[in-house]
Structures are given as C-alpha cells and as structure tokens.
Amino acid sequence: MPKPHRKILVVGNPLYQEQYSILAFQKVLVEGLLRKNWEVATSNAGQEREVGQSYLSTRFEKFFRFPASLRKISRSFPIAHICEHGCASYLRWLKSPTKTITCHDLVSVKAAFGETDYNYVSFRGKFYQSTIVRDLRKADRIVSVSQKTLEDVERIVQPAKGASLCVYNGFYREALIDNRDQAIDTLRTADLLPKRPYYVHISGPPKNKNRRGLLEIYGHLQEMLGSAVPDLWLLGSELSQEEEQGLAFVKEKSKIRFVIRPSDELVQASYTCADLLIFPSWDEGFGLPIIEAQRVGCPVATTCRPPMSEVAGDAAILIEPHDARGSAETIVQNLHRRDELIQAGLQNIQRFSLEQMIDGYDKLFSDLVLAS
C-alpha cells in the first residue's frame, strides 16, 4: 500500500481543449507513479468538447470554476504537479505545500518576446505568454523535457537556483504497430496503401514547424532526383494560406499526399512504411516525431540545432532549414546510409524509454517528500 505521504495530485489540461498528446502524457505519468507506489489523484477542467459549447463557457470553466475546485482539492495533497506549462496559471490556486510543473517548450513565449522572425504575436498573445512566464516562477520545481528547453527556462523564466531540471520525454504514446505487415494492413484499411516510395512529415499549423520550408526542400529534391524522387506525405492539419505558397517550389504537385488529422495508429503505420521522415522545424521543445519514427525503423532528416539535434543524436541526417537547397543536397548525399541510420536510430531511442521518464519524475517527487 502507498505510504500516506506519497500522495500527489496530477493536474492535466482542460479536456475540452482536446490536446491529446498532453492527455496521453498525463495518462502514462499517472500509471507510472502508481507503479512506483504513489497514491495519485487527477484533475482536469471541464468535459470533452460539446457541440455548441461557447467560448465564454470554456473561459469561465478554465479561469473561474475549475481553479476554485482545484484550490479545495489540492489541500489534501503534499505535492501537486501540473502536466503542461500552458496551465501555469493554476499554480496560483494550488494549496499543496509543494507545486511542480512540466514545461514542454517555450516556443510561443520566445515568439511573443521577439526572439523569432517567423511568427507574429498579437498584443493579447504577448500579454498571455508573459503571464505564463510570471506564473512559472511560482513553481517549486520546473521540469523541462529537453536540455534546450531547460536552457530556455533558465534564461527566460529565471527560476530560483536548483528549481529547474531536465527529464527527457519517453514514449508516452502507445505503440500500436508491431511490424510492417500490420502497418500495410492499416494503410490499406484507410485507403492509403502506397503505390510508390514516399517521404513523410507530420505537424500542425504553428509556424515553427516550417511546413513552407519543407515544401521548398521537397521541390529541390524533385529537381535533384527527377522521376526517382519518392512522394511526400503531409500528415496533420491542412496547409495555411501562407504555407500554400511553398507549393510554388514543387513542380510535380501530384506527388504530394495530404492526410488530415490522422489517428495515432495511422501515423505509426505511415512512419513504418516511409523511406524518410523530414522534420525541418525552426524550433521545438523536444521533437517527439523524431524518436517515434526511429522506433519503427524510419530514418530521419531534421534540423541541425537543439533540441532536434539533441534528441536525434548521431542517428539522423542533420539539415539547415534556412538553406532549402543545401538541405536537399545533404539529404541526397546521405540516402545511401539508410541501413546505418535505421540501426543508429534504434540505438538512439534507448535514451528515451518510458521507464527512464517515470524514474526521473519518481526521483524528483521522492526527493521533495524527503525534503519536506
């Protein structure tokens, strides 16, 4: 049985926001802590999104009703952990003696503070991001998911000495595809059975994902490889009007296939059968697609700066996204290393097991209990 003082409240994102990756992170963290003999309770604002639910009702839930509930619940727990930095405002309401939070990235904060040249942030957005930074300072410990994010936290948030640390992400999305045959069956069921080899990319609309640059890189790959160039599968959301400008660089647009809002199973199947993941982000907090692709034996080409290079290690083709032609040339020059990259990727992912992630959080919380 758990010891009475090994009690923790794990606070996740509002359910109506449908941020499934953070909800998955919360789920595996809770399951892992239970395996470590913690007594765990969870708390999330609201219910899953309902048809016709108004913006004002979700704002009231997030900023008034739920904080009042959180204030009451947290009194019973010596430690409370918030799963995502976007909910840092809840630190104001927690009554637990010790409050911790996971910071997955400061990409939007850096954009709001004028550190990037690819993203416009409104006055309201700048104000909101500045409140996140102020609220993060209320945490007793801030856990970053990469060394690069840790550096950003220490530089921008400036927490107290010893109040920040890094615990690498593990594979917190369940493995749904075991082999290539299963992947092919999954693609066939979705009417996506590939007729030709293909490269793959996955991302949403945030500008740090650099999908316009991806299309420019692919346009140069078409020039260099000619008819032998694989197709390009774009997984995620639809292109924005600005991103569509990247299509001007692509001569054979028929080689691009859009897969909108794919399931986790379909994403994993797409990785498994792809020749290469191209992931040229300007910035990330971690870069989970890198290790998810490597886990199923898909080689990776990604940005040559951290945290992408930090996560990929020596097991990827590293490219400079500011130089689309140079990135395409680097990819072409390294295509012969496919088998080498697959083996290096399988070795690299050993650094990111789910158990090492859980061990990191367990040690943090255990040390805080002993210090209290």
pLDDT tens digit string along 253-293? 999 999 999 999 999 999 999 999 999 999 999 999 999 99
Q: Tell me how crowded residue 48 is: count the other CB atoms within 10 A of its CB.
A: 11
Q: Where in the chain is the domain with CATH 3.40.50.2000?
A: 7-170+353-371, 180-351
298-320 residue pLDDT tens: 999 999 999 999 999 999 999 99
219-245: burial string, b at 16+ Cβ within 10 Å, e else:
bbbbeeeeeebbbbbbbbbebeeebee
Q: In the β-sheet with 231-236, what is the strand arrangement from edge to edge?
A: 256-260, 231-236, 198-203, 276-279, 300-303, 317-319
Domain 180-351 indexed as CATH 3.40.50.2000: yes
Mean pLDDT across the chain: 92
Lowest average pLDDT, out of 28-37, 125-134, 172-181, goes to 172-181
- DSSP classification of residue 63: I
The token duo for 359 is: 């061990």
C-beta neighbour count of 109 within 10 angstroms: 23
Q: What is the pTM of this model?
A: 0.92
Helix (H) or strand (E) holding 293: helix 288-295
In DSSP terms, 79 is beta-bridged to 8, 98
Angstrom distance (rounded) from CA 312 to CA 18:
28
Tell me the C-alpha to C-alpha distance, in Å, between residue 163 and each of 106, 142, 156, 255: 17, 6, 14, 49
Quick check: 132 and 119 in contact, CB under 8 A? Answer: no
CA triplet 62, 97, 155: central angle to 5 degrees? Answer: 70
Of 53-57, 105-109, 215-219, 221-225, the one with minimum mean pLDDT is 53-57
Nearest Cα residue to 20 out of 246, 243, 174: 174
Residue 51 has pLDDT above 50, yes or no: no
Over range 204-209, report the average pLDDT: 87
Confidence grade of residue 206 (pLDDT, cut at 50, 70, 90): confident
Neighbouring-strand partners of residue 9: 41, 80
pLDDT for 1 beyond 60: no
Q: CATH: 3.40.50.2000, 1.10.1060.10, 3.40.50.2300, 3.30.565.10. Which one for 7-170+353-371?
A: 3.40.50.2000
- Tell me if 228 sits within 8 A of 193, measured CB to CB: no
* Alpha-carbon span 301 to 260, nearest angstrom: 22
Position 17 pLDDT exceeds 80: no
* 288-295 helix and 264-273 helix, angle to the nearest 10 degrees: 60
> Helix 324-333 crosses helix 211-225 at what angle (to 10 degrees)?
50
Tens of pLDDT, residue by residue over 112-166, are 999 988 878 899 999 999 999 999 999 999 999 999 999 999 999 999 999 999 9
